[in-house]
Structure 1
């Protein structure tokens, strides 16, 4: 497995930014299929960056076993959002980053080979991508995601003073907007194409457990099928590391026999 630390200039963000990338040095999928690798875009949490998954999990080992590339971007504390007063991180993540990654690495551009997952803030980002662009992803996963963003803004949270306003504007602006996952769930009901597979998990001792239960109910009410797992666990790497292995094993890799 090759580990690549990559810096490049983002036109969308108007700054130099970094990604960490794992590229299999040999993959049966790559050799026998399209010649391009399936890819998992793996998103970090609010207080982290693109090094977090490398430092705290065995993601390299799990991905190598499956012959899948992993791309880990850095978005600061943006909540994977085109910020009200700041940079367009959602546009960077959804449009610019995949174009750059495919230009630099042997990454497939097929929907069937493209997956996204994240923990905490990254779980919100992953589901936001999958619900907004269902035609781009085959599978989407959230680990302990901050999925009820209105609840996060209105109740206890670990945002800095005025940070929420900079990201989202006033809380009244979220409901019914592209930043509201419940709005995106309702909108997806009218989508007639193939929907991604969705995976959601959260530990029962996690402070985001109630938010995850709320999202699960909305998903069920909207008719969206979501593979759901809970069980004992807190908001930490002891929970996320084994869960990301479960997610890697769950991905619908088209080259597997």
Structure 2
């Protein structure tokens, strides 16, 4: 049984059809409420009040072997009927850090403020709850549940696309994460480029060899995730290896190669693994890679700035002046 709570006005046929389908399948218990509006003023400008559709849901996950929660933001056009018939939304799947909850992330990262003065007419954002998983499929006796990679690359995709008018095209699907979620986003995105066409990380734990060596107190947990000997060289967990393989495949003409985005803080305690990955990606000649270094330490402040940069990059919404200031 899956329970979702929706906040929107019933003016859109696509959502209405999704709700009818859910009720007919008897999988979802749906509760309806009103629109939520966000407004604000920035730097002397009066900003337009934009309605945002907030989605919160829970269901029993076969991949994880337990109930799991997601939260989401849907654009104003789903609640005012402006979505063109048959049109599908681009989708961003957001992976938070180690101990965050999906609902808290929407608040702490102030994602709703992105709706202020910006028309997310073509995109939806969904945030998951991670439990410090690195978003990999666990091994040993834990392999019968805790399948986070399977959840992120199959089950979550199927659930959200069943309920909402989301595009099934890889070029319309992005995955983005912060901190531990940054590793998860790159791990899922690089290993399943057929699912995700855009991959981004803010202050991500992108060098797993570095993380394993720097955190011996987490050895038991790491063994459940990466294997007893913790040698990830040349395996799917080794993002440097996977990126190099994609670069080689791109040089041979493969089309399903994700665009990559990376940002981190200048004073970030994860600056070293980010700089390691940055140097590696810059050395590869066939990948579409964009990066940004943000002043500040690891935390919600620069995470907020990072996710806004990523959304601009993914939605191609930044102005020409902003594009020229980006480092490539």
Q: Check whether TM > 0.5.
A: yes
Which structure has more strand as a fraction of its residues?
2
Aligned positions of 1:27-176 closer than 5 A: 31-32=83-84, 34-62=86-114, 65=118, 66-67=120-121, 68-85=123-140, 86=142, 87-156=146-215, 160=218, 162-170=220-228, 172-176=230-234
- Counterpart-to-counterpart distance in 2, 1:89 and 1:156: 21
Moved over 4 A (4+): 27-30
- Counterpart-to-counterpart distance in 2, 1:90 and 1:209: 25
Deviation at 1:161, TM superposition (A): 6.1
For the Cα contact (< 8 Å) 1:121–1:146, is it kept in 2? yes
Structure 2: gaps (5+ residues): 1-51, 318-328
For the Cα contact (< 8 Å) 2:201–2:263, is it kept in 1? yes
Q: 2:75 aligns with which of 24, 29, 47?
A: 24
- Counterpart-to-counterpart distance in 1, 2:196 and 2:278: 20
Partner of residue 201, structure 1: 263
For the Cα contact (< 8 Å) 2:294–2:302, is it kept in 1? no
Q: For the structure 1 residues 24 and 187, does the alpha-carbon distance in structure 2 shift closer, same or farther, using more than 3 Å as the test? A: same
Deviation at 1:82, TM superposition (A): 0.5
Deviation at 1:7, TM superposition (A): 0.7
- Counterpart-to-counterpart distance in 1, 2:228 and 2:279: 25
Partner of residue 226, structure 1: 289
Deviation at 1:29, TM superposition (A): 11
- Counterpart-to-counterpart distance in 2, 1:236 and 1:115: 22
Deviation at 1:112, TM superposition (A): 2.4
Alpha-carbon RMSD: 2.3
TM-score (normalizing by structure 1): 0.90
Partner of residue 241, structure 1: 304
Larger Rg: 2
Question: Does 2:241 align with 1:183?
Answer: yes
Q: 1:250 aligns with which of 313, 316, 322?
A: 313
TM-score (normalizing by structure 2): 0.71
The secondary structure found in structure 2 opposite 1:152 is helix
Deviation at 1:162, TM superposition (A): 2.1
Deviation at 1:247, TM superposition (A): 1.3
Deviation at 1:155, TM superposition (A): 1.1
